[in-house]
C-alpha cells in the first residue's frame, strides 16, 4: 500500500456508547475492517459515525487510511481498504470507473445528500463591478482587481490536485478561454483559504472555490460577505458544478462476506446540517482524532433511537 498514507486512530478513546439490546449478538465479532478517506479533514465526522456503528456490531475497525481520491478508489477496488464514506457522485465518477467500477465495488448508499460547490466573490466587488460569472474575468480591468501576485491575472483560490474539483476548474479555464485571465492557485487548500480570508478582512477583493459541507461559508457568509458567481450561460445562472451526494462505497467481496456491515451501510443517513455543524468545531480547533470521535458520539447521543435502530436491524441480517 505504498500509495497510501496512514493515520492511526488513537488506541484508547472515550468510553464506548451504550449498545441496543439487539446488538448483543455481534455479527462482526473477530472481523477486522479497514476504512479509507480522502485527505481533507472534514470527512472525519461521517467516517466516525459509521465506525461507531460498525463497532456496535462487533467489528474491529482498524486504522483509517488517508489518500488522495484516485488512490482512495483504487484501494477500495483492490481490497487494500474495505470501504470509504467519501465518494462524491458525480464528482468522483471518473475515479470510480477507472478503478474498476461496479465489477469490484458498490456505491451502497448516499449517506449525505445535497453537497454543493461553486465560485464566490466578495459581495462589495461583485456589486460594484456587476460580476455574475467568471467569464467576466476576461476583462483585464476586472481581473486586475483580484490580482494578488502582480501578474495581471485574477487569483482564484482553488482546489487541490487529486480531489476531483480541480479537474472541473481546469476545464472551465479551457472551455471559457480564461487561462490568460485567471490563475488557479493550488496547494494546501485551507492554507490558501486562510490567506484569502485575511485578504478579505484587510479590504481586498477575493475569488475562490469552495463546497458544502465545509466551514468556509461560516466565515465568509454567502449573501453577507460574499456572493456566488457562476460560469457563462445563456440560460440563467449556472454554478458550473453539479450538486453531489456523498456515498459509502465498499469492496464487493467485503459486502458479500459481511452482510451486517452491508446492511448498516444501506441504512446510515446523516443530515448535511449535522456535517456542517461538525465543520464549525473543526474550524474552531477541535481537530484531533479524539475530537472527531467525540463529535460523532455527541451526534449519536442526540439521535440514539435512530442509531440503535440501524444497529439492531443490521444485526438481524446475519
pLDDT tens string 137-173: 999 999 999 999 999 999 999 999 999 999 999 999 9
Question: Are domains 16-115+244-317 and 117-229 of this chain identical in fold?
Answer: yes
What distance, in Å, lies between the first and last C-alpha atoms of the chain? 31
Q: Is-contact 27 57, C-beta < 8 A? A: yes
The confidence score (pLDDT) of residue 11 equals 35
16-115+244-317: what CATH class?
alpha beta
| 3-class secondary structure, 98 | helix
Average pLDDT over residues 248-265: 98
Where are the domains positioned within the chain?
16-115+244-317, 117-229
Band of pLDDT at residue 23, cut at 50, 70 and 90:
very low
Give residue 85's pLDDT band: very low, low, confident or very high (50, 70, 90): very high
Residue 25 has pLDDT above 90, yes or no: no
Q: Which of 92, 39, 88 is nearest to 68 (CA)?
A: 39
When pLDDT is averaged across residues 189-215 and rounded to a whole number, the result is: 96
User: What percent of the chain is predicted at pLDDT more than 90?
Assistant: 89
pLDDT given for residue 115 in this prediction = 95
> What's the predicted TM-score (pTM) here?
0.86
**pLDDT class for 318, splitting at 50, 70, 90?**
confident
Looking at per-residue confidence, does 292 or 7 come out higher?
292
Can the peptide bond before residue 90 be classed as cis, meaning omega within 30 degrees of 0? yes
Return the pLDDT at 158: 97
Architecture of the domain delimited by 117-229: 3-Layer(aba) Sandwich (3.40)
Q: What is the pLDDT of residue 199?
A: 97
pLDDT given at position 8: 40
Amino acid at each position: 500500500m505504498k500509495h497510501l498514507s496512514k493515520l492511526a486512530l488513537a488506541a484508547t478513546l472515550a468510553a464506548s456508547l451504550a449498545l441496543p439490546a439487539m446488538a448483543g449478538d455481534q455479527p462482526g465479532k473477530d472481523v477486522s475492517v479497514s476504512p479509507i478517506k480522502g485527505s481533507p479533514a472534514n470527512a472525519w465526522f461521517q467516517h466516525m459515525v459509521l465506525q461507531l456503528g460498525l463497532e456496535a456490531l462487533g467489528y474491529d475497525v482498524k486504522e483509517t487510511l488517508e489518500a488522495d481520491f484516485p488512490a482512495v478508489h483504487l484501494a477500495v477496488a483492490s481490497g487494500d481498504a474495505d470501504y470509504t464514506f467519501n465518494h462524491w457522485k458525480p464528482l468522483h465518477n471518473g475515479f470510480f470507473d477507472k478503478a474498476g467500477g461496479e465489477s469490484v465495488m458498490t456505491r451502497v448508499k448516499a449517506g449525505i445528500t445535497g453537497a454543493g460547490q461553486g465560485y464566490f466573490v466578495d459581495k462589495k466587488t461583485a456589486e460594484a463591478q456587476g460580476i455574475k460569472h467568471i467569464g467576466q474575468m476576461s476583462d483585464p480591468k476586472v481581473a486586475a482587481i483580484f490580482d494578488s501576485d502582480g501578474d495581471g491575472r485574477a487569483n482564484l483560490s482553488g482546489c487541490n490536485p487529486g480531489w476531483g474539483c480541480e479537474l472541473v476548474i481546469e476545464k472551465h479555464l479551457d472551455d471559457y478561454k480564461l487561462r490568460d485571465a485567471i490563475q488557479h492557485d493550488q496547494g494546501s487548500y485551507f492554507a490558501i483559504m486562510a490567506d484569502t480570508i485575511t485578504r478579505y478582512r484587510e479590504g481586498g477583493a477575493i475569488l475562490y472555490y469552495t463546497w458544502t459541507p465545509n466551514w468556509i461559508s461560516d466565515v465568509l457568509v454567502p449573501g453577507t460577505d460574499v456572493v456566488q458567481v457562476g460560469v457563462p450561460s445563456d440560460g440563467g445562472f449556472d454554478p458550473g458544478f453539479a450538486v453531489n451526494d456523498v456515498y459509502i462505497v465498499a469492496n464487493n467481496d467485503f459486502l458479500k462476506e459481511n452482510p451486517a456491515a452491508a446492511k448498516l451501510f444501506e441504512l446510515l443517513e446523516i443530515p448535511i446540517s449535522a456535517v456542517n455543524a461538525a465543520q464549525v468545531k473543526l474550524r474552531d480547533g477541535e481537530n484531533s482524532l479524539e475530537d472527531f470521535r467525540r463529535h460523532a458520539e455527541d451526534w449519536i447521543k442526540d439521535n440514539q433511537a435512530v442509531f440503535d435502530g440501524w444497529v439492531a436491524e443490521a444485526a438481524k441480517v446475519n
